[in-house]
Structure formats: structure tokens, C-alpha cells
């Protein structure tokens, strides 16, 4: 999760997760995350405490169970350069214990119409992903645990 949190810009973000195991109904979790600061390593990242444990538990199940599948979505405030959209959206496919970044087209296809949202290519969030630049947790992530 540190690779996800470390790229968040200041503002209010929402991470949604849906995990299916075999033929069961999907389990869902929503995690609001506030980021305060100037967009540097000293930013304060604060996931909503009452939702954090449930989200982390469900994510752990999805990554540990090789028969699981699902989606993780991130909705963030848009930057001025995002073409007038109010939000940006990124999506990761969960399959066989791995979160795979989805491209913008795939994200739009999977999610459909999120009002005022421009979909962007997702980035690697698991250690060992080719886009992973942090092999250990950034120091500012420890302030939220």
C-alpha cells in the first residue's frame, strides 16, 4: 500500500476494492484517504481509521488467495492539466494474487461512467512491479500506521 499512498497528491482520495473468491459474492471495501501538504515527502497521508483495517484485511485476502479476482480503483482530485475533469481514476486488476495496472482505456471499460472523471494509466503498486521505484516503505507512510 505504500507504493499506492506515496504517489497521492494533496486532497481527498477514495480507494475502492472488490474481491471475489471462487463463486462467492464479491466482498467490497472503501477507503477514504486524505493527503495534506505541498506534494512532497513531508505530506501527511491519513487513511480513514474506521475503514483502514477492513480494507487492509480484504486486500490481504485478495493477494493471498490465488483463486481470487477483482478490482481496485482509485479516484483522486484532478490537476489543472487534466482537461477540465474534477477527478482522475486509476484501476488495477486483481487476479491470482497480483494487482496489475490497467491502462486508461481498460479502466474506462471496467468502471463505465464515473461522473467528471478522466481515467489515467495505473502504475505498479506491488514490490517488484516494473514501475516500482520504492523497495521499502517511504518514511512518511509510517506516520499513518
pTM greater than 0.85 (yes/no): no
Sequence-distant (6+) residues with CB within 8 A of 137 are 2
Average confidence (pLDDT) over 83-96 = 88
Measured distance CA(60)–CA(76) in Å, rounded: 23
| pLDDT of amino acid 39 | 80
Q: What is the pLDDT of residue 128?
A: 56
Q: Return the percentage of the chain with pLDDT > 90, whole number.
A: 50
Give mean pLDDT, residues 74-90: 84
| Domains held by the chain: number | 1
Distance CA 52, CA 37 (A): 21
Half-sphere exposure for 119 (CA within 13 Å, toward CB) = 20
User: In this model, does residue 142 exceed pLDDT 90?
Assistant: no
pLDDT digits (tens, 9 = 90+) for 32-44: 999 999 888 788 9
Confidence at 79, pLDDT banded by 50, 70, 90: confident
**For the segment 117-137, what is each residue's pLDDT rounded down to a tens digit?**
889 999 988 765 444 444 444
Domain that holds residue 129: 2-144
CA gap 130, 2 in Å, rounded: 16
CA geometry: angle 136, 141, 145, nearest 5 deg: 115
Amino acid at each position: 500500500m505504500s507504493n499506492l499512498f506515496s504517489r497521492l497528491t494533496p486532497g481527498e482520495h477514495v480507494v475502492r476494492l472488490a474481491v471475489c473468491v471462487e463463486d462467492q459474492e464479491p466482498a467490497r471495501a472503501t477507503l477514504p484517504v486524505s493527503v495534506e501538504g505541498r506534494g512532497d515527502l513531508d505530506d501527511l497521508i491519513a487513511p480513514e481509521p474506521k475503514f483502514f483495517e477492513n480494507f487492509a484485511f480484504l486486500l490481504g485476502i485478495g493477494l493471498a488467495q490465488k483463486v481470487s479476482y477483482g478490482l481496485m480503483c482509485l479516484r483522486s482530485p484532478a490537476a489543472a492539466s487534466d482537461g477540465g475533469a474534477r477527478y482522475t481514476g486509476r484501476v488495477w486488476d486483481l487476479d491470482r494474487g497480483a494487482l496489475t495496472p490497467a491502462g486508461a482505456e481498460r479502466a474506462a471499460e471496467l468502471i463505465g461512467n464515473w461522473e467528471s472523471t478522466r481515467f489515467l494509466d495505473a502504475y505498479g503498486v506491488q514490490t517488484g512491479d516494473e514501475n516500482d521505484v520504492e523497495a521499502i516503505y517511504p518514511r512518511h507512510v509510517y506516520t499513518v500506521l
